[in-house]
């Protein structure tokens, strides 16, 4: 059975809700093993054991969250040239834009030679003040449905051998 590794970081809950929606939809297929893991807890052996990936991170100051970057720093070289061609997708929880974090993530996985199965999904929370940026987030149902669709699609493609 194929496996999907969903690696995420969330400080205010938005990215966690997105990752949960994707994981729940992927698990509903019951054809793929889905592992949802915090970036801080994910090791190179977890990356090597998976057949596909979904990376979910908030955007902080126009970059991916530091904890997510640290995951890539820690895992990059131990898996380099060992996971080429595997599928991935990315989700960004942003206050306004999200493109900086997505670009940074895409550059990293390009080095791993992963294959994007969909354009990066950016969910905008419109948090623009310090109070709203630091406040717990509530992702709306339409955006969670987009996250679920991405998770289900990635899992279905893995199960069918499309990627």
List domains and CATH numbers for the chain: 2-160 (3.40.50.360)
Determine if the pTM surpasses 0.85: yes
Which of 154, 41, 53 lies closest to 105 in space, CA to CA? 53
Q: Does residue 86 sit in helix, strand or coil?
A: coil
Cα–Cα distance for residue pair 87/40, rounded to 1 Å: 22
- Each residue's pLDDT expressed in tens, for the chain with a length of 163 residues: 999 999 999 999 999 999 999 999 999 999 999 999 999 999 999 999 999 999 999 999 999 999 999 999 999 999 999 999 999 999 999 998 999 999 999 999 999 999 999 999 999 999 999 999 999 999 999 999 999 999 999 999 999 999 9
Q: Does residue 116 sit in helix, strand or coil?
A: strand
According to the model, what pLDDT value does residue 37 have?
98
Which of 38, 158, 24 lies closest to 89 in space, CA to CA? 158
Is there a contact between 104 and 64 (Cβ–Cβ < 8 Å)? Answer: yes
Q: What does the block give as tokens for 23?
A: 């994981």
Three-state SS sequence of 7-69: EECCCCCHHHHHHHHHHHHHHHCCCEEEEEEEHHHCCHHHHHHCCEEEEEEEEECCEECHHHH
Q: What does the block give as tokens for 145?
A: 């449905």
């Amino acid at each position: 059975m194929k496996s999907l590794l969903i690696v995420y970081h969330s400080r205010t809950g938005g990215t966690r809700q997105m990752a949960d929606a994707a994981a729940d939809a992927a698990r509903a297929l019951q054809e793929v093993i889905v592992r949802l893991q915090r970036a801080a807890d994910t090791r190179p052996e977890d990356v090597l054991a998976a057949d596909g990936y979904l990376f979910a991170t908030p955007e902080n100051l126009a970059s991916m969250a530091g904890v997510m970057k640290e995951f890539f720093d820690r895992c990059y070289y131990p898996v380099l040239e060992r996971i080429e061609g595997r599928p991935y997708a990315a989700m960004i929880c942003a206050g306004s834009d999200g493109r900086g974090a997505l670009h940074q993530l895409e550059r990293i996985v390009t080095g791993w030679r992963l294959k994007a199965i969909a354009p990066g999904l950016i969910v905008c929370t419109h948090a623009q003040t310090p109070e709203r940026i630091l406040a717990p987030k509530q992702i709306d149902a339409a955006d969670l449905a987009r996250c679920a669709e991405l998770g289900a699609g990635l899992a279905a493609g893995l199960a069918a051998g499309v990627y």
